[in-house]
Structure formats: structure tokens, C-alpha cells
Amino acid sequence: MDNNEYFINSIPIDPKTIGQSTGLKDRHNQEIFINDIIHFKANYGDFILELATATVGFDELNGRLAVKMNDNILALCDMNYSDVEYEVLGNIYEGKINGQKF
């Protein structure tokens, strides 16, 4: 190789694959990633927990995956939850929920 030559290596990346997976899937069998915006619903004893548009993230204080909406932080999964439903609506990077800009 001469001093005036250089190589650029690149690998194509599918934007849909960028992000940290939670290992969970929503009701449409779509993988859930950190920074996804989801609809979350679960039974917790006699209570129904529901967040219409929550962001998936990490609860550093408790060391767990969480859903966050405003000042509310709930565990993304908990052994005390029953009838858990997740639905991916979008993510924070695309600025869209179900195809609509937010």
C-alpha cells in the first residue's frame, strides 16, 4: 500500500436492529428494546397498572428494567404481575407513535 492509499471498511446496518433488547416481546411478537415507547398494562394483586405511553428504560436505583412515564417508574416485569400486556408504539429516536409524529 502506498502512502497515498487508504481503505475504508464498512458494514451495512439495519436501523431496526440498533438498541439493547430487553428479551421481551409485545403482544404482536415484536421485540422490545430500551427507549421503545410502549403501552403497558398489568394486574398487581387487586390493582390494574396501566401506562398509555411509557418509555422503556433502566431503573438505576433498583437495578432493573422499567417503564417510565412522567414521574412514574414501574418495573417492566415483576413476579407479582399477572396478565401483563406490552405493545410497542414506537421509540424515542423516530419521533413517531404508531406512524404519527409526537
| Distant-in-sequence contacts of 66-72, Cβ < 8 A, 24+ apart | 67/38, 67/40
- Cell numbers 500500500: residue: 1
**The pLDDT of residue 81:** 94
Q: Which three cell numbers stand for residue 68?
A: 417510565
Residue 35 lies in a domain: yes
Q: Which residue has the higher pLDDT, 27 or 13?
A: 27
- pTM, full prediction: 0.75
Q: What is the extent of the structural domain holding 85? A: 22-91
**Does a structural domain hold residue 7?**
no
The stretch 59-81 carries a mean pLDDT of 92
pLDDT at 4: 75
Cell match 421509540: residue?
91
Structural domain count of the chain: 1
Which residues are CB-neighbours of 35 under 8 A, at least 6 positions away?
19, 55, 56, 57, 91, 92, 93
pLDDT at 102 over 60: no
Mean pLDDT check: name the lowest of 19-28, 32-41, 52-61, 89-98: 89-98
pLDDT at 75 over 80: yes
Question: CA of 8: how far to CAs of 4, 5, 11, 47, 94, in Å?
Answer: 13, 10, 10, 56, 28
